[in-house]
Amino acid sequence: MFVRGLKSSIIALESNLKNRTLFFLLNFVLLVTVFIEILTYKHSIALEPHRYQNFTDDILIVQMHYDSETPYTFSSIFDRKLASIENVLYTQYAINQYIYNKETYQLSVKIKGTSGNFIENYDIVDFYYKTNGLPNVKKNELIYGRVWTNEEYQKGESVGLIYEATAKTIFGKSDATGERLNFGSHSIKIIGILKNTDDIKNYYRTFNNYNLEFVVYTPITYLKSDSLIDYSIMRSYNNDILKEIITNNISEKMYFYEREDVISKTLDIKKEQLSNFYYVIVVTLIICVVGLFQLIKNFINQMTFECSIRRTFGATKFEIFSMLVFQNSFVFLLALMLAIVVSIMIIYAYFYFSYRYVYPYLSYIDINIILIIGIAQLILTIAFTTLLSQKIINTNIIDGVKGNS
Amino acid sequence: MYELINVSKSYGKNQIFTNLNFTIESKKFTGIFGESGSGKTTLVSILGMLDQKYTGNYIFNGINITQLGDRELSTLRKEKIGFLFQESYLINEITVFDNLLLNVLDKENKQLIKRIRELMDKFAISDFLYRRVSTLSGGEKQRVALVRALLMNPELIIADEPTGNLDKTNSEIILSYLKSLCLENKTVIVVSHDEKVLKYCDIQYNLIKNGKLERCL
């Protein structure tokens, strides 16, 4: 039965091949146009951040002592001397009080400009807890890789641990061990991945009022040579000395670094340009829908004779209706499938030749949008066919046969 | 027997038939003649169940078809009536075989194919079975159309100007065959203004301008 029905449908398709071919081609062109526009738009926005690779907004580096007993240290910013957390907090508080007369100012390092692999800005905090070498902040749990060894710690190797969410965001996979995280002048090899914990952000926010997206744990020894502030800061709480040091060192090196946010600016411009393109897509979609309506209308009008012949020889109204819906849907689906394949090929070729640097990231792009549009158009095709086929179904049969309808 | 009882039909303000009463006898060759615009085609539409927009009753071998739905009417048309028109009304882009299958939609089976071959042999067109209709001559097309009309072995054959586009030889072939169908217990109605049809008629009606039928034979 099914084979017979299929064969009958194929004969039905063949009987008006020219019109159906035209219907197919016009649908195909319309769909390809829409898909290419939409994919270009969507890909351009989604891929733009990948220009900069390993893109992320903020990062907090937590340096870990390997074997210290006393919890604290705050030395990459201030010095390498041990101090209590209270002291650290006090120092920060004091600096803020002294310079800005406000308690909430964030002591942070901002990287100026960008380099190839970069993180837009980062803050460095030096922590210490000892629990089998793992950063013991809110019960961290290692899910991939390892923590640094004593030897790595002693040598101050550029190795680090990140959270799984960070790995996914930056590297697109959970197990990012072996990857290198590059930012500023730093290049840290990821040796371990920590299980995500919701508390971590709150922890840092509470502790130091940080509001950062990502955290990298490194041995405290790694940034030893990168100390930005003189040792003497922690040695004395004399405000005059502090003022002098801050004025001479910190202020220029840290606080008054102006961040040249090239990336945000570029993204904003790009988004603005693409938002104009969005209107073009909307117009194209409208044209596509109107075009589809006209196509179906013409197609059905040209089917009047054939349908009337079929009616004359015994086809019911429902059979005619089913045939029209089947034919239009079938031809549309063929056009849709080809359009999807061709559109994706064109898009990939376009990005390959025009934006080669983002080409490896194309696989990240969600192309479900074309399926959604395709299904929507298919539903419209069926709806329009249902609507427009009423005329052909209810026409006087003999007029249809003789071409008088 | 096929009977129209008080049938009235109009197109807008144009009244074609008013209370038409008309009986077609079974197994006879009935000719209905009339000038252009006299309502011949409308009568064909009603008799062939192609038009349901009229008042009155049409009794088709005891069945009042005015009370039937689209599905039943379609089934009756498919199984009981064969149509032959002035033009073949075949679809040129497909083969003769596929055109014949359109007649029966998805009911292709061995018996049907056997009947197609028999009829094609009978009209000496069996070589054309898998040829595209567009390659056939007018006479060949009309013979294919006749095969299509007879495919389901209908009891009633309605022919609307079947010889209108044919030469004398082809006309004779078609009409002779239609006449012979009456011997096979089939009823043939030929609507025409062609005098060549006259000599084949068992019963003859004239359709005059005001939508009335006059029996002449």
What does the block give as tokens for A21? 């071919």
More confident residue, A168 or A79: A168
Residues of B in contact with A14 (CB under 8 A): 93-94, 98
Q: Which of A15, A17, A314 sits opposite B74 (nearest CB)?
A: A314
Distances (CA, A) of A183 to A120, A122, A187, A357, A392: 8, 9, 6, 18, 68
What is the number of other CB atoms lying within 10 angstroms of the CB of residue B168? 9
CA dihedral A218, A224, A226, A230 (to 10 degrees): 130
pLDDT (tens digit per residue) in A215-269: 677 766 665 444 333 332 333 333 454 445 444 443 333 333 333 444 455 556 6
The pLDDT, as a whole number, for residue A293 is 87
Locate the domains of chain B by residue range.
28-38+74-215
More confident residue, B155 or A31: B155
The pLDDT, as a whole number, for residue B39 is 83
pLDDT (tens digit per residue) in A76-116: 333 323 333 333 344 444 444 433 443 333 333 332 222 22
What does the block give as tokens for A264? 């945000």
The pLDDT, as a whole number, for residue A78 is 34
CB-count burial class (<10 Å; 0-12, 13-18, 19+) for B150: buried
The pLDDT, as a whole number, for residue A121 is 35
Mutate: best of B106, B107, B147, partner A, most A CBs <10 A: B106
**Weakest-pLDDT range from A171-180, A358-367, B145-154:** A358-367
Among chain B residues, CA nearest to A315: B74
How does the average pLDDT of chain A come out, rounded? 63
The pLDDT, as a whole number, for residue A267 is 58
With CB atoms and an 8 Å threshold, state whether A314 touches B101. no
Q: Where are the alpha helices (DSSP H) in A223-366?
A: 232-235, 239-245, 262-302, 304-312, 317-354
Sign of CA dihedral B51, B53, B54, B60: positive
With beta carbons less than 8 A apart as the criterion, state whether B151 and B104 touch: yes
Distances (CA, A) of A282 to A252, A343, A378: 50, 18, 18
Closest CA–CA distance from residue A379 to any residue of chain B (Å): 26
The pLDDT, as a whole number, for residue A324 is 85
CA neighbours closer than 13 Å in the CB half-sphere of residue A350: 13
Q: Estimate the crossing angle of helix A17-47 against helix A317-354, to 10 degrees.
A: 40
The pLDDT, as a whole number, for residue A13 is 58
φ, ψ for residue B145, nearest 5 deg: -60, -35
Going by their DSSP bridges, the two strands A159-163 and A142-145 should be labelled as unpaired
The pLDDT, as a whole number, for residue B158 is 92
With beta carbons less than 8 A apart as the criterion, state whether A260 and A112 touch: yes
Task: State the residue for tokens 């920060």.
Answer: A92
Homologous superfamily in CATH for domain B28-38+74-215: P-loop containing nucleotide triphosphate hydrolases (3.40.50.300)
The pLDDT, as a whole number, for residue B157 is 92
The pLDDT, as a whole number, for residue A232 is 27
The pLDDT, as a whole number, for residue A183 is 59
Enter the DSSP assignment of A84.
B
The amino acid that residue B217 corresponds to is L
What does the block give as tokens for A389? 């086929």
What are the CB-based long-range contacts (under 8 Å, 24+) for A400-404? A400/A304, A400/A305, A400/A307, A400/A308, A400/A309, A400/A311, A401/A305, A401/A308, A401/A309, A401/A312, A401/B85, A401/B89, A402/B41, A402/B85, A403/A304, A403/A305
What is the ipTM score, two decimals?
0.87
Enter the DSSP assignment of B17.
E
What does the block give as tokens for A148? 């640094």
Residues of A in contact with B148 (CB under 8 A): 313
With beta carbons less than 8 A apart as the criterion, state whether B166 and B138 touch: yes
pLDDT (tens digit per residue) in A311-340: 888 888 888 888 888 888 888 888 888 888
Closest CA–CA distance from residue A3 to any residue of chain B (Å): 9
With CB atoms and an 8 Å threshold, state whether B71 touches A318. yes
The pLDDT, as a whole number, for residue A222 is 64
With CB atoms and an 8 Å threshold, state whether A314 touches B103. yes
B interface with A, Cβ–Cβ below 8 Å:
41, 44-45, 48, 50-51, 53, 70-71, 74-75, 77-79, 83, 85, 89, 91, 93-94, 98, 101-108, 148, 152
Among chain B residues, CA nearest to A10: B98
| C-alpha closest to that of B23 among B189, B175, B196, B197 | B189
The pLDDT, as a whole number, for residue B155 is 92
The pLDDT, as a whole number, for residue A178 is 92
The pLDDT, as a whole number, for residue A84 is 31
How many helices (H) and strands (E) chain A has is answered by 13, 7
| C-alpha closest to that of B72 among A316, A303, A60 | A316
Q: Which of A7, A18, A313 sits opposite B78 (nearest CB)?
A: A313
Q: Binning pLDDT at 50, 70 and 90, where does residue A70 land?
A: very low
Instruction: Give chain B's residues under pLDDT 70.
Output: 103-108, 217
What does the block give as tokens for B145? 């159309």
The pLDDT, as a whole number, for residue A130 is 32
Among chain B residues, CA nearest to A11: B98
